[in-house]
Amino acid sequence: MDTEFVERIYGEVAEVHESLPETVKERGFAIFYNPPVHGGLLLIGLNPRREDASYAIEHPEAHQGPPPKHLYLEGRGGNLGAKMRTWFDAVPGGGELLRSSNKVNAIFFGSAGEQEWKRPEFWGVRRSPMKAAAEARCREWVRQIVSHVEPCGILVEGMSAFDRVRADERLKIETKAVVKLAQQRVAIHAIALGSIPLLAIAHPSNAHLTKAEARCREEELFRFLQGFAG
């Protein structure tokens, strides 16, 4: 993949990161969770979770460029990464599919969770324009990554992430089918940029899913992965 493009993205994100409030800045940021590759699946989560506020100080390499190996394969993707690896391994050829995938987030800047990201106190002032500006830049970067990576498919980790990705009209995401059980969105099938298959699944940490809903989510995911695994 174009190293000049990757270096530019990291430089731009680092510049915006430096302009954010200290409460946000100390959570760090992450862009690629893997050595960027052309093609393959593109996984998109919500944002990096930073339970430890010292992460950015202890792991400055995360701000300098992509990791040498896919974090999901190195056991460094948290509970989500472990679950995703288990799911990929359950599909014949899924391990190689994961190894050749790219993983980014809809928001590159970290927080302890989605609620912290939304909390006014996290941004220092109520209705801070910096939050909206940071989210807008992230939408732009994600769109650029999709254009450069040219993925064969997009897998979105969680409905909150999907709602944010879908908010960028220039990705032209067209919903084809919504799989619901008892009004709970379990999976969403869509097309991005006119031709890229996209699947969004309920987040693995969603404690509100019944066993039937969780089973349905896995079935939809496995069918999607089987379409790409060799």
- Report the pLDDT value the prediction gives residue 59, as an integer from 0 to 100: 64
Domain residue spans in the chain?
3-226
pLDDT in tens, 119-150: 988 998 766 789 999 999 999 999 999 999 99
pTM greater than 0.85 (yes/no): yes
| pLDDT above 80 (res 81) | yes
Spatial distance between the Cα atoms of 94 and 222, rounded to a whole number of angstroms:
9
Bigger pLDDT: 1 or 153? 153
- Report the pLDDT value the prediction gives residue 126, as an integer from 0 to 100: 67
Q: Which amino acid is at 14?
A: A
Spatial distance between the Cα atoms of 38 and 150, rounded to a whole number of angstroms:
7
Indicate the fold that domain 3-226 takes in CATH.
Answer: Uracil-DNA Glycosylase, subunit E (3.40.470)
Bigger pLDDT: 215 or 128? 215
pLDDT band at 208 (very low <50, low <70, confident <90, very high): confident
Spatial distance between the Cα atoms of 128 and 40, rounded to a whole number of angstroms:
37
Count other Cβ atoms within 10 Å, centred on residue 202. Answer: 25
- Report the pLDDT value the prediction gives residue 53, as an integer from 0 to 100: 39
Write the burial class of residue 46 (CB in 10 Å: 0-12 exposed, 13-18 middle, 19+ buried). buried
Q: Which amino acid is at 92?
A: P
Bridge partners (DSSP) of residue 185 are 180
- Report the pLDDT value the prediction gives residue 51, as an integer from 0 to 100: 46
Count other Cβ atoms within 10 Å, centred on residue 43. Answer: 27
Share of the chain above pLDDT 70, in %: 94
